[in-house]
Amino acid sequence: MFRERVKLFLILLLITSASFFFVALAFHPSVRPSLPLWIAVAVVNAFFGMFLIHVRYLKPLDQLASKVVRVPQESITFNEGNLRRDELGVLARRLNEMAEVFRLEVEGAIGEKEEVRAVITSMSEGVLVIGADKRILHASHPVIKMLDLRTGNPYGRFFWEALRHEEIVAIIETALKSPVAISRELNISTEGASFSVHASPVFGAGKKLHSVVVIFHDISALKKYDRMRSEFVANVSHELKTPLTSIKGFVETLKSGAIDDRPVAVRFLTIIEAQALRLEKLVSDILFLSAVEAQELAGELPLREPLSIAAIMADVLEAQRVQIEEKQHQLKVNIPAGIAQVLGDRIQLEQVFTNLISNAVKFTPLGGAISVGACDDRNMVRIDVTDTGIGIAQEHINRLFERFYRVDKARSQEMGGTGLGLAIVKHIVSLHGGKATVKSTPFKGSTFSVFLPKA
C-alpha cells in the first residue's frame, strides 16, 4: 500500500511539473530563469493533491477494505454509504447489500447444518459420514453404540482406525471409489448382530467427491423375528401333523373293516375324538396367542378395569375343581380380603390363571398340594401359584415361556398340552404391563408368580 502511494505521488509530481514547465515555455518565455521556483510550486501542489486524495479517497478505501476482510467473522455495516454521495458512497452501499446477502446466506447455511445435525442425532439408525480425505466427519450416537467404535471421540480420525470390522471398512472403501450408492447386509458374529448397510457418495462442484454417508440399520430384531416365525411354522406343522396322522391312520383302519368290530371301532373312535380335541385346543391356543401378539405389536392396550383377584381366582378354581378332585390335590387359597384390585381384561387374566392352575394340576402327582396366594408388591400385586409337582431343572427355566417349548415333550403330549400355555401367560401379562417369573426345584415343585399393576 505504501509503494502504491509513493507511485501516485511521483505521478502527480511528474504531471504537475510537466504542466507548469510546458505552460511556462509556451506562454511565458520571460520566466525561464525562474524555473526552479516553478518546480518548487509543482512539488507543493503534488503534496497538496496527494493529501487531498489520501484524505478523500485512499483512507476511506483502506477502511472499506479492512471492513470487508472482517465480514465473514462479524456483522459489519459500511456507514460511508450514508455519509457520502460520490462513487465511494455508492460502493459502500453496494458492499452493505452484499454483506447483508452474505449474512443471510451464512445464517441459512448454519441453520441447515444444525438441522441436518439434529436430524442425524435424532435418528435411531446409525449414521457415519466419511470425508473425501477418509477421515470421520460425523458419527451419530447409535452408530458409536452399534459398532463399538475403538475411540470415544472418532471425529477427525481415519475410519479404518476407529472401525473394528473389516467388512464395514471394505464397504466404505468401495463407496469412496464408486459413483453410485451401494447396499450390503452384514452379520457381525462377535456381537451376534445383523446390519443393513447403505453407503452413498456425496459429490460437490465439478463432480468432485465431498464425502460418503453410511447408514446402518440394525436388523437383528427382524432376523430374530424371522427365525421365530420359521420355528413357529415348523412347530405348528409338526404339532398338527401328529394328531392328523393318528386320525388318518385310525380312519383308514376303520374303513378297512375294523368298523364292523364294535369294541375296536369304539376304541378307535375314542382315540380319534381325543386327537380332534387336541387339534381343536391347539388351533384355539394358536389363534388366541396370535391375537395377543398382534395386539402387543400394535401397541394396543387391553381393556383395563379394576378387577378382584379373589373373584377371578374363584371362577378359575371352580372350572378346574373336577380335575383337582380327580387327582386328590390339597388346595389352599390365601388371598387377603383387603388385597388391592388390579387393572386388566378379565377374560385375558382368567386365561392366564387357567393355564397356570391347569399346569399345576397336570404336573403334580396324585395327592399333592397346590396353593394360590396374593400379596402387595409396591405398585404391583403379586399372585403366586405353587405346587408340589415334578419341578423343573434350572437349564429349562430361561426357555420355559417360549412357544412350543416343553421340558418333557412326551409327558406334555400325553397330558394334552399344546406347548403354548406359558407363552400365552407371558404375552398377556406383558401386555398388561406386568411380568411372569418362575422358581422351581426338581422333584419338589414350582412357584409361578404373576405381577400385575394395581388399579
Q: Tell me the per-residue pLDDT of 370-405, one tens digit each, with 9 for 90 and over.
A: 999 999 988 899 999 999 998 888 888 888 888 777
**Confidence at residue 395, expressed as pLDDT on a 0 to 100 scale:** 87
User: Do the beta carbons of residue 359 and residue 300 sit within 8 Å?
Assistant: no
Would you place residue 350 in the very low, low, confident or very high pLDDT band (cuts 50, 70, 90)?
Answer: very high
Q: What is the CA radius of gyration of the chain?
A: 45
Mean pLDDT lowest among 71-75, 347-351, 417-421, 423-427: 71-75
**Confidence at residue 382, expressed as pLDDT on a 0 to 100 scale:** 94
Would you place residue 294 in the very low, low, confident or very high pLDDT band (cuts 50, 70, 90)?
Answer: confident
Question: Would you say residue 117 lies in a domain?
Answer: no
**Confidence at residue 445, expressed as pLDDT on a 0 to 100 scale:** 92
Q: Of 75, 104, 133, which marks where a domain is finished?
A: 104
Range of the domain at 58: 2-104
Q: Which amino acid is at 350?
A: E
d(CA 380, CA 452) in angstroms, rounded, equals: 5
Would you place residue 406 in the very low, low, confident or very high pLDDT band (cuts 50, 70, 90)?
Answer: confident
The continuous run of DSSP H or E covering 439 comes out as strand 435-441
Percentage of residues of the chain with pLDDT beyond 70? 75
At 147-190, the pLDDT tens digits run: 766 566 677 888 888 887 788 888 888 888 888 888 888 777 55
d(CA 217, CA 243) in angstroms, rounded, equals: 43
**307 and 449 together in one domain:** yes
d(CA 78, CA 92) in angstroms, rounded, equals: 6
Question: Would you say residue 116 lies in a domain?
Answer: no
At 60-113, the pLDDT tens digits run: 777 767 677 666 666 666 565 455 666 666 777 777 777 777 777 777 777 777
**208 and 228 together in one domain:** no
At 182-209, the pLDDT tens digits run: 888 877 755 567 888 888 888 877 788 8
**36 and 63 together in one domain:** yes
**143 and 206 together in one domain:** yes
Would you place residue 337 in the very low, low, confident or very high pLDDT band (cuts 50, 70, 90)?
Answer: confident
Question: Would you say residue 58 lies in a domain?
Answer: yes
Q: Of 169, 189, 218, which marks where a domain is finished?
A: 218
**Confidence at residue 266, expressed as pLDDT on a 0 to 100 scale:** 87
Is 27 a residue whose pLDDT tops 60? no
Mean pLDDT lowest among 16-25, 158-167, 441-450: 16-25
**347 and 256 together in one domain:** no
**Confidence at residue 402, expressed as pLDDT on a 0 to 100 scale:** 83
Question: Would you say residue 109 lies in a domain?
Answer: no
User: Do the beta carbons of residue 49 and residue 14 sit within 8 Å?
Assistant: no
**Confidence at residue 79, expressed as pLDDT on a 0 to 100 scale:** 61
Q: Which amino acid is at 284?
A: S
**201 and 253 together in one domain:** no
**286 and 269 together in one domain:** yes
d(CA 419, CA 411) in angstroms, rounded, equals: 11
Mean pLDDT lowest among 9-18, 19-28, 128-137, 389-398: 19-28
Domain count, the chain: 4
**310 and 281 together in one domain:** no
Question: Would you say residue 410 lies in a domain?
Answer: yes
User: Do the beta carbons of residue 201 and residue 178 sit within 8 Å?
Assistant: yes
**366 and 441 together in one domain:** yes
**Confidence at residue 141, expressed as pLDDT on a 0 to 100 scale:** 78
**319 and 419 together in one domain:** yes
| CATH code at position 181 | 3.30.450.20
Would you place residue 299 in the very low, low, confident or very high pLDDT band (cuts 50, 70, 90)?
Answer: low
**307 and 372 together in one domain:** yes
Mean pLDDT lowest among 37-46, 157-166, 234-243, 301-310: 37-46
**Confidence at residue 15, expressed as pLDDT on a 0 to 100 scale:** 64
Question: Would you say residue 115 lies in a domain?
Answer: no
**346 and 447 together in one domain:** yes
What is the sign of the dihedral through the CA atoms of 386, 390, 395 and 397?
negative
**How large is the average pLDDT for residues 219-244?**
78
**Confidence at residue 54, expressed as pLDDT on a 0 to 100 scale:** 65
Strands, DSSP E only, in 113-225? 126-131, 136-139, 182-188, 193-203, 209-218
- Give the residue from 440, 448, 450 showing the smallest Cα distance to 395: 440
Is 131 a residue whose pLDDT tops 70? yes
Would you place residue 253 in the very low, low, confident or very high pLDDT band (cuts 50, 70, 90)?
Answer: confident
**How large is the average pLDDT for residues 40-55?**
65
d(CA 222, CA 241) in angstroms, rounded, equals: 28
Is 5 a residue whose pLDDT tops 60? no
pTM over 0.85: no
User: Do the beta carbons of residue 80 and residue 60 sit within 8 Å?
Assistant: yes
- Give the residue from 107, 113, 111 showing the smallest Cα distance to 72: 107
Q: Are strands 126-131 and 136-139 parallel, antiparallel or unpaired?
A: antiparallel
Question: Which grid coordinates belong to 210?
Answer: 465431498
| CATH code at position 227 | 1.10.287.130
